[in-house]
Amino acid sequence: MNKHEWLLAEGRKVVKPYIDEESIDRNGRYALAFVIGGYWSVLIKWVSEGAIESPEELALIVKSTYRK
Protein backbone atom coordinates (compact mmCIF):
# COMPACT_ATOMS: atom_id res chain seq x y z
CA MET A 1 0.00 0.00 0.00
CA ASN A 2 1.48 3.34 -1.00
CA LYS A 3 1.29 6.52 1.11
CA HIS A 4 -1.76 7.86 -0.74
CA GLU A 5 -3.69 4.61 -0.34
CA TRP A 6 -2.75 4.48 3.34
CA LEU A 7 -3.98 8.03 3.92
CA LEU A 8 -7.27 7.28 2.16
CA ALA A 9 -7.69 4.12 4.22
CA GLU A 10 -7.08 6.04 7.44
CA GLY A 11 -9.55 8.71 6.35
CA ARG A 12 -12.15 6.06 5.62
CA LYS A 13 -11.74 4.71 9.16
CA VAL A 14 -12.66 8.15 10.48
CA VAL A 15 -15.75 8.64 8.31
CA LYS A 16 -16.93 5.02 8.18
CA PRO A 17 -19.09 5.31 11.32
CA TYR A 18 -20.92 8.21 9.68
CA ILE A 19 -21.06 7.24 5.99
CA ASP A 20 -22.09 3.95 4.43
CA GLU A 21 -19.78 3.85 1.39
CA GLU A 22 -21.64 0.86 -0.03
CA SER A 23 -24.78 2.97 -0.41
CA ILE A 24 -22.93 5.71 -2.34
CA ASP A 25 -22.80 5.56 -6.12
CA ARG A 26 -19.53 5.53 -8.07
CA ASN A 27 -19.35 9.31 -8.44
CA GLY A 28 -20.04 9.74 -4.75
CA ARG A 29 -17.22 7.36 -3.85
CA TYR A 30 -14.80 9.37 -5.98
CA ALA A 31 -16.04 12.58 -4.41
CA LEU A 32 -15.55 11.11 -0.95
CA ALA A 33 -11.99 10.03 -1.80
CA PHE A 34 -11.32 13.54 -3.12
CA VAL A 35 -12.55 15.19 0.07
CA ILE A 36 -10.70 12.79 2.37
CA GLY A 37 -7.49 13.30 0.39
CA GLY A 38 -7.91 17.05 0.60
CA TYR A 39 -8.37 17.01 4.36
CA TRP A 40 -5.31 14.82 4.84
CA SER A 41 -3.23 17.08 2.59
CA VAL A 42 -4.26 20.11 4.62
CA LEU A 43 -3.38 18.34 7.88
CA ILE A 44 0.00 17.24 6.56
CA LYS A 45 0.73 20.78 5.31
CA TRP A 46 -0.35 22.26 8.65
CA VAL A 47 1.83 19.92 10.71
CA SER A 48 4.83 20.21 8.37
CA GLU A 49 4.70 24.00 8.75
CA GLY A 50 4.69 23.79 12.52
CA ALA A 51 0.94 23.82 13.21
CA ILE A 52 1.14 27.58 13.78
CA GLU A 53 -2.59 28.12 13.34
CA SER A 54 -4.94 26.81 15.99
CA PRO A 55 -7.22 23.92 15.00
CA GLU A 56 -10.09 26.44 15.01
CA GLU A 57 -8.20 28.74 12.62
CA LEU A 58 -7.42 25.79 10.37
CA ALA A 59 -11.09 24.81 10.34
CA LEU A 60 -12.01 28.34 9.24
CA ILE A 61 -9.39 28.24 6.49
CA VAL A 62 -10.75 24.93 5.18
CA LYS A 63 -14.33 26.15 5.50
CA SER A 64 -13.47 29.26 3.46
CA THR A 65 -12.50 27.05 0.51
CA TYR A 66 -16.03 25.74 0.09
CA ARG A 67 -18.41 27.46 -2.29
CA LYS A 68 -21.57 28.78 -0.78
- How many structural domains compose the chain? 1
Contact between residue 67 and residue 34 where contact means Cβ atoms under 8 Å apart: no
Residue 50's pLDDT is: 92
Low-confidence ranges of the chain (pLDDT < 50): none
| pLDDT at 49 (0 to 100) | 92
pLDDT at 32: 81
Question: Is residue 32 within 8 Å of residue 21, measured between CB atoms?
Answer: yes
Residue 53, pLDDT score: 92
